[in-house]
Amino acid sequence: MEKLSNPQVTIETIKKYNFAFQKRFGQNFLIDGHVIEKIIRAADISKDDVVLEIGPGIGTMTQYLAETAGKVYAVEIDKNLIPILEDTLSDYDNVTVINEDILKLDIGELIKEEKGNLKVVANLPYYITTPIIMGLLENHIPAKSITVMVQKEVAERMQAGAGSKDYGALSLAVQYYAEPYIAANVPPNCFMPRPNVGSAVIRLTSFSKPPVEVKDEKLMFKIIRASFNQRRKTLQNGINNSPDLNFTKEQVADALKELGKNENVRGETLTLSEFANLSDLLLKNR
C-alpha cells in the first residue's frame, strides 16, 4: 500500500472509513514524510529497538516505525481508528495495536518480556502532553529516550534553563529525569487538520541516574511547584502559602540564608541543584 504520508492517501483512507476527526482526542495527523523521517532520525531507531507509539491515529508514522524498529506497540484510545489501523498496517507483522488510554495502561507489564531497547515515539495529543510525559518519567518507564511532537511552547518550556521566561516546574521535572534536545520545528501545514499552534520535535534522553542528589524527591517537587504557583511572589511566600508544605517563615528564611540566597529571591532564578539543596536544608531543619 502507498504510504499515508502522501496526503492524497490519507484523504482516501479517511473517506473510505467515513472517519470523523475527534477534537477531544487531539487528532491532527501528519501528512509529511520528511517530518516523520526527522522524528525517526532524532529517535535513532534501529531493528534492536522496541518502540512504544502513543496515539498512532491512522498509522502514518507507525508505517515508518514498523520498517525501522524491531517491534512496535501502538496504543490508540479511539476505537474508531482500530479497523483502519488493521488495514493500513496489514503489510507489517511486527506491530501490535492496543485500544487503550495511555494514561491507564500498565506499560511495564506490556513490555516485560521484551529484550530490546525501549524507545517512546509519538506525535502527541496536545491536550494531555504534560500528564503523558510526567507519567512516563515519574513511573520510571525503562525507556532509553522519549521523542515526541509537542506544541512548540511546551518544547521550549521543557528545555528552558533557570532565569529564562519559559522556565518552570515542567523544565525542572523533565531535566531531573532526562536531557532535552529540540530536534525540529514543524509548521501547522504538515498536519491534517492544521493545528492552531506551531509544533516541535523534542527528544528526552533518559539519565541512568538523576544529575543532582536529593534526599526526598517528593519534597523537592512540592517546593518546586509551590515556588512557581505564584510566579510574581518571592520563593519564601510561595513555600509559606503552599497547602502542601508546612514550614515556618523562620525555617524557610534560615534555609535560604544557608543556601546563600537573599530573602526576596524568586523561584525562577534557582537551578535544579539549588532546589535540591534547598529541599535537603528544609528537611534537615524540620
Task: Report the alpha-carbon distance of residue 231 to residue 55 in Å, rounded.
Answer: 34
The C-alpha cell at 214 is: 536529593
Q: Which residue, chain included where needed, has cell 512516563?
A: 136
In the complex with ligand SAM, the residue whose CB is nearer, 81 or 169, is 81
* By the rule CB under 6 A, 65 interacts with ligand SAM: no
Q: How far is the CB of 45 from ligand SAM (least distance, A)?
A: 15
Asked whether 175 and 270 are in contact (CB, 8 A), the reply is: no
Task: Report the alpha-carbon distance of residue 191 to residue 90 in Å, rounded.
Answer: 23
| Burial (CB count within 10 angstroms: exposed 0-12, middle 13-18, buried 19+), residue 92 | middle
- List phi, psi (to 5°) of 52: -105, 115
Binders of ligand SAM among residues 178 to 237 (CB under 6 A) are: none
Pairing of strands 117-123, 49-54: parallel
* By the rule CB under 6 A, 27 interacts with ligand SAM: yes
In the complex with ligand SAM, the residue whose CB is nearer, 25 or 242, is 25
State the residue number with the nearest CB to ligand SAM: 55
* By the rule CB under 6 A, 25 interacts with ligand SAM: yes
Which one of the spans 41-49, 51-59, 233-241, 243-251 is the region binding ligand SAM (CB under 6 A)? 51-59
Q: How far is the CB of 243 from ligand SAM (least distance, A)?
A: 29
Q: How far, CA to CA in Å, does 262 sit from each of 8, 236, 265?
A: 61, 10, 5
Chosen residue from 1, 11, 82, 103 binding ligand SAM by CB under 6 A = 103
Chosen residue from 45, 52, 65, 102 binding ligand SAM by CB under 6 A = 102
Residues that bind ligand SAM (CB under 6 A): 25-30, 54-57, 60-61, 75-78, 101-103, 123, 125, 128
